Structure 1
């Protein structure tokens, strides 16, 4: 679920938060880094739980209509297509997902059920819902495509939900695009016979990713003085105050990665940090960072100090 670029963003945020700190103890910043990464999984579970609760809300709505004192014929014999959506029922009956929701204490929608109502009402007002409910029966694929469309065009862009997520955990805003993409991929790949494990993905794609996060953080922080000197040598014509703080952190990390991680190709490192700069810093940051890194890499190559293995050499 977690990709290397998002790991780099998390490390950047942790190093940025550490700037100005006089403590040499890295244990707390490292815990913050790991918590920030692992809390992303809670956001994933939160959104999956929302899909389950929307189905329950729809079922409750039908029951209330049927129990009305003056129930209409439509109330007595409602279209249960949405309530019986096979993909939603697959999520609702997923025992492993339920275990993870419980173990991670995901109870938000029981406590803040008004947001379930907001999403439910947004769904039933959507054109997708109106089209979907024109018939009373459907195939698994139709049910799946409907949920994909609803998640992509109704749930994910909902402003109220966005504000709720922002209020709960500030770091979740950076996680949201990655989590939404993960959910859409899982929804697209699901089949009627898909195992319960499908909707309980691993946070790290492999164990090396967690090691990468910690190593990148520690090696960048512990080599701050040397990295700053390298940056200073290449920015003599720049007033230090003109260099954005985020750009400085990204340069530190990129230089550290180029020098200390032999298996990562130089081009991969540079491209990743340029993309992060475009998203998190100024409009010209990527050009500035690219210029500095390009000069340094050429120097490393000319002095044969670029320690890269395999296809890592540029």
Structure 2
């Protein structure tokens, strides 16, 4: 939707160029994911360096010489640092953001150390993998995923990530909660696409919508008598075209799935009335398509 909108705004008709940008934007989501994962690893490393330097101070205190090492000994943070899947992905994608921006890691680390979550964790003399996991998920939720400075950095690094940050944070949190002790396979870097068909769908939906925009628009123009076509927002028209494209050109996608998907997108990106407008148009279209046998859905429960 965003790529098609950008094409309209720029007047671009270079389908190949815009398609490359589409996949470049999609592939960068994994870089975002790896940067966020590496944040957890880097804060542990920075604390290790801090404790090492403190112990070598000329006038080192008793605390400097014998610090509470529970944070850097956290089994889940160590698990992430040792995880081959993460290490290989960071190397392959050349993710080294924190070697160049360690000041942000130090800021995040300082905020963690000042938090009640951290203080309570260090004060607890008991130790368990589950307690370590809860601590990591808590600091990730409360102090990393919600960190405004980190958010600003990621937004400045790549503007297209603004909409992807919540998705990445939610996915990573779910993964952290499912890490199992002594089971490296319980955490692996998430693949960008579920399978080849998943990637093909992105390409096909983009192409079929762009190449058939005029025909797709004809399907809803006559069904908006109470709406001035010039006053219907461009985002709304793009969503309608994409939804109609799914109705007519993607037989394996259930009608309800398409409608629900675009209603959710409308709530997120369009005007307050858009979801009502789009729902009404799509609902009437489906009824008409069914009467004229225009819908060719395959599989059980797809109508």
Query: Which of 279, 304, 312 is matched with 2:293 structurally?
Result: 304
Q: Does 1:168 align with 2:157?
A: yes
Structure-2 separation of matches of 1:65 and 1:23:
58
- State which of 181, 187, 190 in structure 2 corresponds to 1:201: 190
1:269 counterpart = 2:258: yes
* Long gaps (5+) in structure 2: none
| 2:199 corresponding residue in structure 1 | 210
**Matching residue of 2:95:** 106
Q: How much has 1:299 moved relative to structure 2?
A: 0.4
Structure 1 SS opposite 2:257: helix
TM-score by length of 2: 0.96
Could you list the per-position Cα deviations for residues 179-234 of structure 1 after superposition, in whole angstroms to 9, with x for gaps in the alignment? 11111111111111222582322111222110110010011011101011122111
Find the residue that maps to 2:136 and give its secondary structure.
helix
- Give the equivalent residue in structure 1 for 2:220: 231
Q: Quick check: 136-145 or 26-35, which moved more?
A: 136-145
- Give the deviation of 1:310 after TM superposition: 2.1
Tell me which moved more, 232-241 or 300-309: 232-241
Please tell me whether the aligned partners of residues 263 and 278 of structure 2 are also in contact (alpha carbons under 8 angstroms). Answer: yes
User: What TM-score, normalized to structure 1?
Assistant: 0.93
Alignment of 1:34-45 (within 5 A): 34-45=23-34
5+ residue gaps, structure 1, are 1-11
After superposition, residues 1-314 of structure 1 pair within 5 angstroms as 12-20=1-9, 22-195=11-184, 198-314=187-303
Aligned residues between the structures = 303
Displacement of 1:136 after TM fit? 4.5
Check conservation: 1:42, 1:106, Cα contact below 8 A.
yes
**Which structure has more RCO (C-alpha within 8 Å, separation ≥ 6)?**
1
Verify the 8 A CA contact 1:264 1:312 in the aligned structure 2.
no
* Offset, 1:95: 2.9
1:249: how far off?
0.7
Q: What is the CA RMSD across the aligned residues, in angstroms?
A: 1.4
Tell whether the 8 Å contact from 1:277 to 1:285 is kept in structure 2 after alignment.
Answer: yes
